[in-house]
Amino acid sequence: MIPAVVVAIDGPSASGKSTVARRVAERLPDFVYVDSGALYRLVTVAAMQAGVAPEDGPVVRRFLDALPLEYIVRDRVVVYRVGGREAGPELRTQAVNENVSLFAALAPVRERVVGWLRGLTRFGSLVMEGRDIGEVVFPGAACKFYLNASPEERARRRHRELEGRVAPDDGGLRQVDESLRRRDRIDSGRAVAPLRIPAGSAVIDSTGLTIDQVVEVVLLQVRQVPGLVSNG
């Protein structure tokens, strides 16, 4: 069996990494797309629904121990389920945006999620995006990328993403911008696996680029790795 390889795409919220990673995986034969942020969001939603507070360490650990998490692959995308129920639009509400960094900053949560993510190589080669994939989850990834964009552009992207979704708590572009900046501060300042550019990453500023242009930049570098992919 050919060992699974990983293409890691990191970056802050609304940098475009989710869309880019999904499209890159679609263009690479036999690769599976993994949205690591969705797993943190799923943990956050489940914790909020269970009334678990992030500052209550023992309760958080018991909650994680009992979480009935499952994975399936559909159309070369890893899909998460809790108790047989798939994650839905509730993962992207403003309330989750405000709380996910609080839970993601907790050592027990990060340790558990990192273990879950590493185990996904059983599905084969991965294009995985997140905030610490190339630094912590897969430091030996075959290719590493760090996507970024200006704060203003990221706020516009996130606001467009929220429009039309079930997100009645979305207070407009200004609130989205403030939320993103707050999350950046939390992600960059947390004690466990802070957001930073992983060693060996190719840095891409997507502010003035289309999604297709970023995808082509990533694919060009991935295809230069000997033996990683044949074509696609």
Which stretch of 99-103, 117-121, 155-159, 184-188 has the lowest confidence by average pLDDT? 184-188
Q: 70 in helix, strand or coil?
A: strand
Region at 16 (left for phi over 0; alpha for psi -120 to 50; beta for the rest)? left
| Rounded Cα–Cα distance for residues 10 and 21 (Å) | 10
**Of how many residues is the chain composed?**
232
Instruction: Tell me whether residue 232 is in a domain.
Output: no
Please check whether residue 227 lies inside any domain of the structure. no
Tell me, yes or no, whether 229 lies in a domain: no
The verdict on residue 231 lying in a domain is no
In a domain, 176, yes or no: yes
Establish if 126 belongs to a structural domain. yes
Q: What is the CATH number of the domain that holds 212?
A: 3.40.50.300
Computed over its alpha carbons, how large is the radius of gyration of the chain?
A: 17
**pTM of the full structure:** 0.86
Q: 25 lies in which domain range?
A: 6-220
**Number of domains into which the chain is organized:** 1
pLDDT one-digit tens code per residue, 6-58: 999 999 888 889 999 999 999 999 999 999 999 999 999 999 999 999 999 99
Residue 115 within any structural domain of the chain: yes
